[in-house]
Amino acid sequence: MQAAPPTCTGGKVQPVLLCLSHLRWDFVFQRPQHLMTRAAQDHEVIFFEEPLEAPIPQPRLDFSMQPGGVLRAVPVLPHGLDEAASAAAQRALLDGLLAERAGRPLVAWFYTPMALAFADHLRPDVTIYDCMDELSAFRGAPPAMLAMEQRLLDRADQVFTGGRSLFEAKRDRHRRVHCFPSSIDTAHFGRARDALAEPAALAGIPHPRIGFFGVIDERMDLALVAAFAALRPEMHLIMLGPVVKIDPASLPQGPNLHWLGGRRYDELPDYLAHWDLGFMPFALNESTRFISPTKTPEFLAAGLPVISTPVVDVVRDYGEAGLVEIVESAAELAEQADALLARPRAPFLARVDQQLAKNSWDMTWARMAALLRVPEAAPVAAKAKGVAHV
């Protein structure tokens, strides 16, 4: 598919926002997708993903227009390229993409410092580092990650962080660091409070149902999940999400454990509407030290009481406010599940709604956009006079 033509608004082409992401658009709908769909209201957003390999003679870019107006660009490279050849191929593809948009203001929005391997030659009008995770702590992180991050911090105009812990870790490393914790699409997840049809995958699973949704990887405490399931065999644990970076055979099994795989973002309220509690059984390790799970406010917007292990940002942002119960063991988890199932919901939901009204992805994007300071786009008739941002 060919790239869409430049978008025009009121006789002017929109600025280009190039999002360089380590996450695929269709993997899990989370922070990048929320922000980029909002950015697309007044930018031409190009979501440039990590490459795929295929038995092809020459590198190419595969394009697809996503709901919300984001142009997804996926580099497809021939099998067997080494690291240097892969970076060179991606650089050439990126240069061709931006040459078609020469003369327009450019925002380079990085989610991964490793994108500098093919994008360090760009000279955008604004460079943003949106640090949503401490990627260097994740399993399989490239050894060069920390050095590449320092290079990105040295050139970034603004640094955004996905939570308070990340903000505290980065604030002394750049002159302009801003904390933008996980936000919420309250209307979307609030649908779960309505009488929605039960998904077929839940049919026949008894209540009470305790649910998790998200990526299932090294950040999940599988021993805790297994111990809780054994302590409360009458409670059924519904686990939604793709399994990555861990062996699926390592997932604990039992008659009350249901690993249902990934679900689309638009399906999630249908599932949450038929759960009794939400839980976040995160392991406490290097990969969870700085996380600020987006699912925390999403569970709450859906009207579900939530139990979590003591992830720092969850404790500070929700546990101390009495909105999420914090536990450290399977025994505590079982005890809190019993208590929450018996607790009246109305007072809890009133406090939840008061808290959630203070934030949203719309508010977060508006605050971020105010920090971009993108130069005014050139008139359409003059756009050919500009130069490529390469």
pLDDT tens digits, 338-390: 999 999 999 999 999 999 999 999 999 999 999 997 665 544 433 333 333 43
Residue 2 inside a domain? The answer is no
Do 68 and 191 lie in one domain? The reply is no
d(CA 323, CA 293): 14
Mean pLDDT of 271-292: 94
Residue 328 has pLDDT above 70, yes or no: yes
Do 172 and 26 lie in one domain? The reply is yes
Cα–Cα separations (whole angstroms), residue 212 to 88, 124, 240, 271: 41, 40, 6, 10
The answer to whether 276 and 207 have CB atoms below 8 angstroms apart is yes
Question: First and final CA of the chain: distance in angstroms?
Answer: 24
Q: Domain span at residue 41?
A: 8-183+362-385
Residue 120 has pLDDT above 50, yes or no: yes
Residue 107 inside a domain? The answer is yes
Do 287 and 263 lie in one domain? The reply is yes
Do 89 and 196 lie in one domain? The reply is no
Do 177 and 262 lie in one domain? The reply is no
Residue 100 has pLDDT above 80, yes or no: yes
| Residue 13 confidence (pLDDT) | 79
| Residue 83 confidence (pLDDT) | 94
Residue 3 inside a domain? The answer is no
Name, in order, each residue with C-beta under 8 angstroms of 244's C-beta and a sequence gap of 6 or more: 215, 216, 217
> Higher pLDDT residue, 176 or 388?
176
Q: Tell me the residue type at 156.
A: A
3-class DSSP assignment, residue 256: coil
Residue 390 inside a domain? The answer is no
Residue 6 has pLDDT above 60, yes or no: no
Mean pLDDT of 292-303: 95
Residue 1 inside a domain? The answer is no
Q: ∠ at Cα 343 (341, 349), nearest 5°? A: 105
Residue 238 inside a domain? The answer is yes
Judged on CB neighbours under 10 Å (0-12, 13-18, 19+), 172 is exposed
Do 195 and 170 lie in one domain? The reply is no
| Residue 130 confidence (pLDDT) | 96
Helices and strands: H and E segment counts in the chain: 13, 17
Residue 206 inside a domain? The answer is yes
Do 231 and 314 lie in one domain? The reply is yes
Over the stretch 185-238, which tens digit does the pLDDT of each residue have?
999 999 999 999 999 999 999 999 999 999 999 999 999 999 999 999 999 999
Element (H, E) at 90: helix 83-99
- Split into its structural domains, the chain has a count of 2
Q: What is the CATH number of the domain that holds 120?
A: 3.40.50.2000
> Higher pLDDT residue, 211 or 7?
211
Mean pLDDT of 269-297: 94
Do 194 and 126 lie in one domain? The reply is no
> Higher pLDDT residue, 142 or 323?
323
Q: Which DSSP symbol is given to 379?
A: B
Residue 73: how many CB atoms within 10 A of its CB? 20
Residue 301 inside a domain? The answer is yes
The answer to whether 98 and 74 have CB atoms below 8 angstroms apart is no
3-class DSSP assignment, residue 300: helix
Do 89 and 141 lie in one domain? The reply is yes
Do 123 and 223 lie in one domain? The reply is no
Do 303 and 373 lie in one domain? The reply is no
Over the stretch 13-34, which tens digit does the pLDDT of each residue have?
799 999 999 889 998 899 999 9
Cα–Cα separations (whole angstroms), residue 318 to 170, 210, 352: 22, 19, 10
The answer to whether 280 and 309 have CB atoms below 8 angstroms apart is yes
**Mean of the per-residue pLDDT values for the chain?**
91
Query: For the ranges 69-78, 129-138, 327-336, which has the lowest average pLDDT?
Result: 129-138
Do 287 and 238 lie in one domain? The reply is yes
